[in-house]
């Protein structure tokens, strides 16, 4: 069975080839993944497998760095380093702070 990442030979639309400037949160997740990797908590192969394991719906709905964020959360929970409640509490705190300052990006995205 094809994984969601295996699209070779399938019809699709044009590929976006223009790089876009990274948002602040994209830079943060990139740095966080690098730090977690440098500490030996996860490796490249685990990251790839976790992204591929998201399933078709999540993989096709989430953007690149959203996939990284979702899988990093899952990995930290699976390794016992964070709980879902801890992640949810921090996300709620950040959303509140950003909403108060008018900096909340991604309105309409699932919390």
Predicted local confidence at residue 111, as pLDDT: 42
Question: Where is 74: in which H helix or E strand?
Answer: helix 64-78
- What is the CATH classification number for the domain harbouring 51? 1.10.472.20
- Cα 77 from Cα 83, distance rounded (Å): 5
Mean pLDDT of 53-78: 92
Q: How many separate domains does the chain show?
A: 1
Q: Comparing 24-28, 30-34, 36-40, 98-102, which segment has the lowest mean pLDDT?
A: 98-102
Residues of the chain with pLDDT > 70: what percent? 84
Residue 22 has pLDDT above 80, yes or no: yes
Question: Where is 85: in which H helix or E strand?
Answer: helix 84-101
Q: Do residues 45 and 7 make contact, with C-beta atoms less than 8 angstroms apart?
A: no
What is the domain extent for residue 75?
Answer: 24-101
- Whether residue 15 lies inside any domain: the answer is no
b vs e for 83-101, b when ≥16 Cβ sit within 10 Å of the residue's Cβ? eeeeeeeeeeeeeeeeeee
Q: What integer best gives the mean pLDDT of the chain? A: 85
């Amino acid at each position: 069975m094809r994984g969601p990442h295996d699209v070779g030979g399938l019809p699709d639309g044009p590929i976006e080839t223009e790089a876009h400037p990274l948002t602040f949160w994209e830079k943060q997740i990139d740095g966080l993944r690098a730090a977690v990797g440098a500490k030996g908590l996860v490796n490249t192969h685990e990251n790839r497998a976790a992204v591929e394991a998201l399933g078709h719906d999540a993989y096709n709905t989430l953007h690149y760095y959203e996939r990284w964020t979702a899988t990093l959360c899952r990995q930290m929970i699976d390794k016992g380093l964070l709980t879902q409640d801890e992640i949810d509490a921090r996300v709620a705190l950040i959303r509140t702070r950003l909403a108060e300052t008018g900096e909340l990006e991604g309105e309409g995205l699932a919390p």
